[in-house]
A and B are shown apart, each in its own frame.
Chain A
Amino acid sequence: DAGVTQSPTHLIKTRGQQVTLRCSPISGHKSVSWYQQVLGQGPQFIFQYYEKEERGRGNFPDRFSARQFPNYSSELNVNALLLGDSALYLCASSATGPGGHSNQPQHFGDGTRLSIL
């Protein structure tokens, strides 16, 4: 079975531009979360979506937004890019049930490497 897939794998943008990152969860997984990982740090939580509803939001500015589609895939949008947005953006999915939170492990994709010039 396919794991979590993310696209694109690499992206180069300039300051002020906008970017959209995409994620397809493992088949059957309804929960998708987004994380930002800068070099040398652990991932930082950005959003969780379950059944197209936002279940959690991390400490990120409003320039960051996300949505989840009926097929449970998800997009992360970042507007007005800053140099500090350069990072590896990771998507994770889990087999969480209706409560939106469970003891199911989160499975991560290989990420999108975003570089801002």
Chain B
Amino acid sequence: KQEVTQIPAALSVPEGENLVLNCSFTDSAIYNLQWFRQDPGKGLTSLLLIQSSQREQTSGRLNASLDKSSGRSTLYIAASQPGDSATYLCAVSRPGGSEKLVFGKGTKLTVNP
């Protein structure tokens, strides 16, 4: 059974700092990995999708890496801003069958001005 863990559960940083969020998964047989952000009381916003054959994806100040063999992914946020404050979730899907995503519990990020 696939399990996804995100550490730390919460993180508070000053504005402008570069930071890394961690995600680990127990079964390396994944199809892809997605990072999402969730604002309080809202749905999920897709940030980046990394296919199992890829090592990283970049979008603006965000960079996500994937090491499938070790079951790890990181989300790097450069020059953090107060608007980046949200909960960040990672999720993995498995090959074949459905598009079921297995989520971690998320990391709650607070960027202080």
Interface residues of A (CB under 8 A from B): 4, 6, 31, 33, 35, 40-45, 48, 55-58, 90, 92, 94, 96, 100-111, 113
Interface contact B51-A43, CB-CB below 8 Å: no
Interface contact A108-B44, CB-CB below 8 Å: yes
User: How far is the CB of A107 from the nearest CB of chain B, in Å?
Assistant: 6
CB closest residue in chain A, given B106: A42
CB closest residue in chain B, given A40: B105
- 8 A Cβ contacts from B25-78 to A: 31-32, 34, 36, 41-46, 49, 51
Select one of A40, A43, A55, A111 contacting B98, CB under 8 A.
A55
Task: Identify 28 residue pairs between A and B in the complex whose beta-carbon atoms are under 8 Å apart, listed by A's number.
Answer: A33-B98, A33-B99, A33-B101, A40-B105, A42-B104, A42-B105, A43-B44, A43-B103, A45-B100, A48-B98, A48-B100, A55-B99, A58-B100, A100-B98, A100-B99, A101-B31, A101-B98, A103-B32, A103-B51, A105-B46, A106-B46, A106-B101, A108-B45, A108-B46, A109-B43, A110-B43, A111-B42, A111-B43
User: How far is the CB of A43 from the nearest CB of chain B, in Å?
Assistant: 5
CB closest residue in chain A, given B48: A105
